[in-house]
Structure 1
Amino acid sequence: MTHLKDGQGLSTGLLIIMSVTTGVVVANNYYNQPLLGLMAKDFGISELQISSIPMLTQIGYAFGLFFIVPLGDKLRRKKLILVDFAFIIAALIGMALSKSPFLLKVFSFIIGFTAVIAQLLIPMAAQLATDNKRGRAIGTVMSGLLMGILASRTLSGYIGAHFGWQAIYYVAAVLISLLFFCLVRYLPELPAEFKGSYGSLLKSLVTQFNTQPNLRLASFRGAFDFACFSVFWTTIVFLLEAAPFHMGSDVAGAMGLVGIAGAIVASYVGRLSDRMSKNKLIIMGIFIVLISWIVLGFSGKSIIGLIIGAFLLDWGVQSVHITNQAIIFQGNPPARNRINTVYMVWYFIGGSLGTLIGGYIWYYTGWTGISISGIILSLLMLLLHIFGRRKLNLTNSD
């Protein structure tokens, strides 16, 4: 069993393993998005009804963040991760075997609840990295997570179009099983730092939120950030399946390849955050998100415009997200798992609301309403950042 200490540094091999793990696990949350049309047809329900599937996955993820991730400060993290893997595999198989919309929703929630491994590994990377390479380590692990999110849509869209929507969940169960054995061999052990009860552990989340203004602002900013992301990726499949595109789930999923390019660009933000103003990086990311939604608003009938808009959206959203995490992990705090929990719970609350809003706005107003909602969310995020920094006196905190 390998034991490492805080700030000892990460080997390239271990960093790659952690990055791949985050990508493979978090992909489970997003396989459903390009398959919503196929699921709706299979069960004979409307697009509005099926749009709750990704929302429930995100809500499940938020619950998992709250109840599971804080345990990373109390329990042996490696054992916690491996036990969780067993539940992930069971949830994926249950999803594939679902015979009703109700079971789909139940297992969608469970998949989200168990797929929180990434949020244990990101603080671990921050903990092991040296001070001058912490942003780089976070950015590298996050790049794996982002590519997992985006590649998942391409993979599931293709497999769903050719083998049925259930097939991707069987494939995912096999991938997770293989990864389990890799982690048994290579993932290090880190000592737990919290000695209190589970109840006091959860209560301390409130303390972290109340006593850290940087964390509060990053949490609210992250909620709007992920809402901008979710509104688009929940509804793009409906747009592409309708006139004038008439495209299937494989093409809708291929949009994820565009997002990967944006995510790769955003991954360099982690390195930039080690040596330049995080406030400037945040503002840059928000403006890119806003511009992306303006482009998308004029691209309801243009596949080229949608590609450009998707690239910009993922670039901007992930730039804000990565910089947020660099901010909250400054100083390598001992409560890093709980700090990450607070931030990510708010992040996925925002994503869930974005998914919910997207489903209703698409149903009643179509792409025009979706674009306007994206622009409004972007502007609200910008105003929150500007006035939040001013109110909390954070101008010189970077």
Structure 2
Amino acid sequence: MTPVLTFLFALAGGAAVGNLYWAQPLLDVIAADLGASPAAAGWLVTLTQIGYAAGILLVVPLGDVLDRRRLVPAMMGLSALALLACAAAPGFAVLLTALCALGLCTVAGQLLTPLAGDLADPARRGRVVGTVASGLLTGILVSRAVSGLVAGAAGWRTVYVAAAVLDAVLAVVLLWRVPADRARDRVPYVRLIGSVFALVRTERTVRWTLVLGACGFGAFTLFWTALTFLLSAPPFGYPVTVIGLFGLAGLAGALAAQRSGRLHDRGLSLPATGVAWVLALAAFAVAAAGARSVLLILLAIVLLDVAVQGQNLLNQSRLFTVSAGARSRLNTAFVVGNFVGGAAGSAAAGLLWTAGGWPAVCTAGAVVSVVALGVWALGRRGPLVAGPVAQGSGT
């Protein structure tokens, strides 16, 4: 993993995962344009994440048996086609279908992350994976900001056309620069998918980490989906161009993820994960107090993104130490768990906002944080994988 290749992996992964979030700051705009309610608009994010979880489960395990030099560009190309379908959607139902297809195809980032782990020197694996993961996180945050700016200037459909062009260009570059993959044993597809569940069933570290990851991403999407409703309503009343810019405050989370990789390399994964959940709880407390304060909302964004993205990288790096030969499948289990939690969080955001507004959203986020802290405290007592030197079978 040379610095140039690491940067390319981070850039391509960020572009891929950013496809899941173009709609997030545009929910009110898209709903108004296509005649949908605010509660229904939340499903634009939810169905994208459900499709993504399905793509992770059905496609990413192939990274352990197929040549990723061809597989990654192919998925980027399919994402470009799905983005064009989103741009051309004539109605809300068609857009939901196209976004679900987009989620199914946009898995290149989760193929590149375990590939980076395979190519990296073991002593630097946490740092390399952290850099690639920070690219993915930056893609999430930048996509929200760019989405609002482009939609404000040229309409929400232009956002998806521009993203399609970017994915198509990156597909060509990846085909040129990704190293040829090593030869591996062929495994029947059904058996390959089944082995993902076998890893979850047999490895305690995997199960514990999946619960923490799902809680983290559920809290993350709960907050960010509801934040769109908060900032577009009184007393703020911000347009989409301004709402999208709030995502830039979360860039602190991407920096935290990169630093978290170094903590993992030093064997501090478990205690750092606990600290991250304390920060998440503090973030929701600050958010609840800041329903009418831009400064407090910005502080809550920074705290939550540092907490969730930092512990997300620690969880992922910990999983990659379980089995060197099954990293794509471990990543599959991890991301599916995350996005099931994320889909639940975004769906709950609309319901909670309708039922109790911002206080209900913040209370739910605090409850999730407390539950996750309990899971962390109970799970860390056992013989869990704590650093890069531990290796399990897992295959």
Q: 1:96 aligns with which of 77, 87, 97?
A: 87
Q: What is the Cα deviation at residue 331 of structure 1? A: 5.8
Deviation at 1:394, TM superposition (A): 2.7
Q: Does 1:69 align with 2:69?
A: no
Cα deviations across residues 229-253 of structure 1 (Å, max 9, x unaligned)? Answer: 0001111111111000010111111
Alignment equivalent of 1:394, drawn from 377, 383, 387: 383
* 2:194 pairs with 1:218: no
Letter in 1 for 2:383: L
Counterparts of 1:131-280 in structure 2, within 5 Å, are: 131-280=122-271
Q: Does 1:305 align with 2:296?
A: yes
> 1:317 deviation in Å?
0.1
Q: The residue matched to 1:84 in structure 2 has which SS? A: helix
Specify the code of the residue in structure 2 equivalent to 1:176. D
Pairs aligned (count) = 387
Which stretch of structure 1 is more off in the superposition, 183-192 or 127-136? 183-192
Deviations, residues 97-121 of structure 1 (Å, cap 9, x unaligned): 0011101100111111111111111
1:396 deviates by 7.6
Aligned amino acid, residue 12 of structure 2: T
Letter of the 1:293 counterpart: F
Write the distance in 2 (CA, Å) between the matches of 1:396 and 1:131: 15
Q: Give the TM-score, by structure 2 length.
A: 0.96
How far has the Cα of 1:326 moved from its partner?
1.1
Partners of 1:262 and 1:272 in 2: CA distance: 15
Partner AA of 2:218 in structure 1? A
Q: Which moved more, 1:213-222 or 1:192-201?
A: 192-201
Looking at structure 2, the residues matched to 45 and 142 of structure 1 have their Cα atoms a distance apart, in angstroms, of 34
User: Unpaired runs of 5+ in structure 1?
Assistant: 1-9
**Structure 2 CA distance for aligned equivalents of residues 265 and 223 of structure 1:** 19
Is the contact made by 1:158 and 1:250 (CA closer than 8 Å) also made in structure 2? yes
Distance in 1 (alpha carbons) for counterparts of 2:195 and 2:92: 37
Which residue does 2:393 correspond to in 1?
none
- What amino acid sits opposite 2:329 in the alignment? R
Which deviations, in whole Å up to 9, do the C-alpha atoms of 1:328-384 show, x marking residues without a partner? 111651011111101111111000001111110011111010000110011111111
Supply the distance in 2 between the matched residues of 1:370 and 1:325 (Cα, whole angstroms). Answer: 27
1:238-285 Cα shifts (integer Å, max 9, x gaps): 111100001011111101110012321332111121013211110111
Whether the 8 Å contact between 1:72 and 1:192 is mirrored in structure 2 is no
Which of 327, 352, 356 aligns to 1:361? It is: 352
- The answer to whether the Cα contact below 8 Å between 2:205 and 2:384 also exists between their aligned partners in 1 is no
Corresponding residue of 1:5? none
1:381 is aligned to: 372
Over 3 Å counting, the alpha-carbon distance change for 1:396 and 1:143 in structure 2 is closer
Match for 1:128: what amino acid? L
Change in Cα spacing, 1:212 to 1:331, as seen in structure 2 (3 Å) is: closer
- The aligned residue for residue 322 of structure 1 is 313
Kept in 1: contact 2:35–2:92 (CA 8 A):
no
Residue number in structure 1 paired with 2:274: 283
Residue 194 of structure 1 deviates from its aligned partner by 4.0
Question: Using the alignment, how far apart are the partners of 2:253 and 2:133 within structure 1?
Answer: 13
Q: Does 1:78 align with 2:74?
A: no
Identity of aligned residues (%): 34
Corresponding residue number in structure 2 for 1:46: 37
Note the residue ranges of structure 2 that are not aligned, 5 or more in a row: 388-395
The corresponding residue for 2:324 is 333
Question: Does the Cα contact within 8 Å between 1:266 and 1:316 map onto a contact in 2?
Answer: no
Residues 194-245 of structure 1, C-alpha deviations (whole Å, 9 max, x = no match): 4220011011111111111111111111000000100011111111110000
How far apart in 2 are the matches of 1:328 and 1:395? 10
SS of residue in 2 equivalent to 1:348: helix
8 Å Cα contact 1:127/1:332 also seen in 2? no
Partner of 1:335: helix, strand, or coil? helix
1:127 matched to 2:118: yes
Cα separation, partners in 2 of 1:332 and 1:211, compared to 1, 3 Å: closer
Aligned pair in 2 of structure 1 residues 84, 396: CA closer, same or farther (>3 Å)?
closer
Q: Contact conserved, 1:193 with 1:334, CA < 8 A, in 2?
A: no
RMSD: 1.2
